[in-house]
Structure 1
């Protein structure tokens, strides 16, 4: 691994380790678009079939790893279902999982978070995703690929997730720091009271690769997210971009970050809950 970030690998590292029997490469792409009607998500399976890292399988987070009938439209599935799906992808407890996506890595970090949430720490993110792989001159393949099925036994870590009730309590608790992961404009338009802002799109450079830890540290220090006296809880619109901020924080030594999985979708489902603006 050539990055100082402990959970990040570059294309050359993956190329050099692609034939290792313990490696499981997973394309985690979901396509997210916005228009006047709001946000729209679409499975990345078809773009995976058009081009993916050789041997990589596809995790359909949208249809197989998401609950759509809770207080928000995008929530982590139950442990048993998660184990069934990732075991079917060939991921067991002896697997080193390399996750990537086609867009901006927030879907890769979403799967990274779900794996660590269920107790699997041997998971890394391909820096820059498929674009970085192709930019390095490495080949892609089309169609579907798979690994032999494995047994995945979940060991859920409840401290890695925050409920709406916990976030409501956090708004009056100085020991919890709510970190909004959306753009600065979105933060100004509406946020959970007491939140600070670390936009996920400022974590990466123009090529979509994660900035160095030396560059990231001042961004998090400026909002108090590295203060050992507070416990960070990251959130966004639907619990996706929040995982990118949690990923960056882990690289800076914060292993205690929780994700508000419902995020603003859940918070705003009750009009009585307040928002700060400006």
Structure 2
């Protein structure tokens, strides 16, 4: 007969034998997944490209990095009144070309301005504005258009930073000028003729997105010689990408995708976005990339300022 101690040993061995295959199936120490890196951020946020956003708590821990340039694109008086430590200031007016005011600042001039702020191609750039991301995404798009590989926009901007009682300074940093090599990417921009061709010859795979208000889209709010919208364009106000409560941040990915899909935009669509001057449109383009919708998306930079003032462009109301 077994002694009591022998029964205990037998029971322990039996339990261990049962546990080993379960542990193996779940990925124990000998499993290939042991010690693997955490799930990517998109598994948590649902965003296709979560690194396009910089959360304020993340940024607060990055300010001492020498390979990071933080850019404030608010009004100059707001920057002077207090800004994120180490942030440099970029003028909103210097996002359009000073001579050809409808389209993006020319390549050589932007390279000069970016370099003067210490921006070079190898450094990560983080941009913030008052809070909505409107101007920050416009600068994001210009940097993207000129080939910068790593640019983030602060989610909630300065409004969120300030509400969280984070450090603010009036000290203007000393900038070491850098060399930014600007290489324009024609695949992320389009001109009037391209939009006109797509509007007059509808393609089920192409969506023309009007990022203005519904009143502008309908022609009730006229901000050019004529009011209305590009024929066959759909309307989705850029502001609907943000939460209603302050500080405003981007809505969860699921909500954003639902809004765009309701407007007929899918992962396989090519989206042409316009607004009045290409600023709000850049915000919508940023959001589309954030959630992974559309392919080959383009910004019509002349937007309604060009289309609505032209004499021979078709208009719907």
**TM-score normalized by the length of structure 1:** 0.88
| 8 Å contact from structure 1 (residues 105, 244) kept in 2 | yes
Gapped regions of structure 2 (runs ≥ 5): 1-40, 220-227
1:177–1:195 Cα contact (<8 Å) kept: yes
CA contact (8 A) 1:98 1:123 kept: yes
Cα contact 1:65–1:85 (8 A) shared by 2: no
**What does the per-residue CA deviation read over 1:184-207, in whole Å, with 9 as the maximum and x for residues that have no partner?**
222222111010112111110122
Shift of 1:269: 1.9
| Matched residue count | 259
* Matched-pair contact (CA < 8 Å) for 1:193–1:275: yes
User: Is residue 204 from structure 1 mapped to residue 242 from structure 2 by the alignment?
Assistant: yes
Residue by residue, what CA displacement relative to the aligned partner does 1:92-126 show, whole Å, maximum 9, x if unpaired?
11111000101521100000000000001200000
Q: Hey, what does 1:240 align to over in structure 2?
A: 279
Equivalent positions of 1:1-278 (< 5 A) are: 4=47, 5-29=50-74, 44-62=75-93, 64-70=94-100, 73-171=101-199, 172-174=201-203, 175-189=205-219, 190-205=228-243, 206-207=245-246, 208-228=248-268, 230-253=269-292, 254=294, 256-277=296-317
**Partner Cα distance (2:303, 2:190) in 1:** 9
- In the alignment, the residues of structure 2 paired with residue 173 and residue 79 of structure 1 have an alpha-carbon distance, to the nearest angstrom, of 32
What's 2:24 paired with?
A: none
Counterparts in 2 of 1:192 and 1:90: CA distance versus 1, 3 Å: same
d(CA) in 2 for partners of 1:146, 1:238: 33
CA RMSD, Structure 1 to Structure 2 (Å): 1.6
Within 1, Cα distance between the matches of 2:114 and 2:174?
11
Separation in structure 2 between the aligned mates of residue 92 and residue 116 of structure 1, nearest angstrom: 13
Equivalent pair of 2:70/2:127 in contact (CA under 8 Å) = yes
- CA displacement at 1:47 relative to structure 2: 1.2
Structure 1 SS opposite 2:51: coil
Q: 1:154 to 1:249 in 2, by over 3 A?
A: same
1:223-251 Cα offsets, whole Å, 9 max, x none, are: 122241x3101110110000110001001
Normalising by structure 2, what TM-score? Answer: 0.78
Name the counterpart of 2:10: none
Which residue of structure 1 aligns with residue 8 of structure 2?
Answer: none
Deviation at residue 272 of structure 1 after TM alignment: 2.5
- Which secondary structure does the structure 1 equivalent of 2:61 belong to? helix
SS at match of 2:193: helix
**1:173 Cα offset (Å):** 3.5
Tell me which protein shows more strand as a share of its residues.
1
Instruction: From the superposition, tell whether residues 146 and 158 of structure 1 become closer, same or farther in structure 2 (CA, over 3 Å).
Output: farther
Change (3 A) 1:69 1:151: closer
